[in-house]
Structure 1
Amino acid sequence: MNHTLRVPGATLYYEVRGDGPLLVLAGAPMGTRFLAPLADLLAADHTVITTDPRGVGGSIPDDPSADSTPQLRAADLAHLIAHLGLGPAAVFGTSGGAVTGLALAQAHPGAVHTLVAHEPPVTELLPDAVEQRAAVEDIVATYAAGDVPGAWMKFLVNANIPVDPSAAPPPPDEQQTADERFWFLHEMRGTTLFRPDLDALRSSGVRIVVAVGEASAGQICDRTSAALAEGLGADRAVFPGGHIAFVDDPDTFAPRLRETLK
């Protein structure tokens, strides 16, 4: 079922599937359209919530020029969990959504009992954080100058994600173009500048599992996941596939997530 919820500064779009313990799937910039296949599988034994992060898809901010930060997105999730009245929730956050999940556990620990943080790009924890900030600024400036392919190439090279030059993605539709623009200009910077408060997370009472894809070795989110796990004194859980395995192969990804949540 599809719903909207009014929160401070935005109207959130979210979807509800299944029945059972509450599980929130959070992405950023990815929203409901990418998480839906995984949600369908997990709805067999969970009440699964997917949502578009503010500024993406159906979640409309009052000020479209305002930046989206992990703190804002975490507050949105806290409002949504409270509205549903089924919390505290288990949360699976991936990429920027994993950063949202960390901000949620840090500032709203009563809303979440377990967080699976899948490949969060918390580059502020890296020894080359200054260089990473400069790389993000260059990527954003390249996009703002109108060089969309160049911005994507710089992003993938910096993330150390292999690029197949013969694989041309299908042309984006109008919504995808708008979501892409919001991510580059209003979301990427805030997400990568977020530095988790490791002391607050360790004392939050939230069970935090740092997850990384087996195919992500050497990529930037492999490095950030390792730094986060070390900072929290936690082991990393290895998941199948790479950074977007939950999209590429949800049938393989779902059992691993279900096992981790137990």
Structure 2
Amino acid sequence: MTRVALITGSSSGIGAATARLLAERGMRVVINYLHSEQAAQEVAGGIEAAGGEAMAVQADVRDVAAGDALVERVRSAWGGIDVLVHNALTPYAIKPFEEMTWDELGGKLDDELRAAFVVTKAVLPAMTAQNWGRLIYLGTGLSRQPRAGMIALGTAKAALTQFARYLAQELGPRGITVNVVEPGPVAETRISHVLDDEQRRRQTAATPLGRLAVPADVATVVAFYAGEDNSFMTGTTAAVNGGMAMY
């Protein structure tokens, strides 16, 4: 059976690397994007040029109608979605708590959980019907290890991780595994600019493996969780940080 994987926010960075790797491993992949159509089409085109199957589909996964339409389009072409990799990153403020408004903090919490809620609801019926599924959510090490100015992202992702644990408990009897991948700092992504050269130097020095992650490092862990071999790990969180933080 050829599995179908939906990767939200996959026009670049970790999402694109994950889409490429899952395609290399024989899955049909759906490249979801919000604004970056050209980049998403390039990712899909590269996968197809390498012999894989991919489609690029625009959708704001915070919107119920858009999420349902996305899943219906995939169902019409390839059947139900077997694997969800929820990687889409909604905007967030980078500032100290004392300078932050509730709209900035509460808005990020709402966006984070709304997107996870909407897209999970949309893919769940097909997974339930076949008694098999993989739900993988991208978190962040900032949900455990605070860093100045990152309270909105860290708090929202901590809530996402707990959301995933509750899903793991509820959906396990249906043959659906639910896991979280928590990267530390990742180079070569759209948000890596938040680290200046001195911060990168310090973080590299604090990493036992001697470098920061790149998207392919994270994609490899996601691909394990997405695969057939991962039949007995659920409710877990994988830290992909080169040993910078050990939990």
- Same fold flag (TM > 0.5): no
What's the TM-score, normalizing by structure 1? 0.42
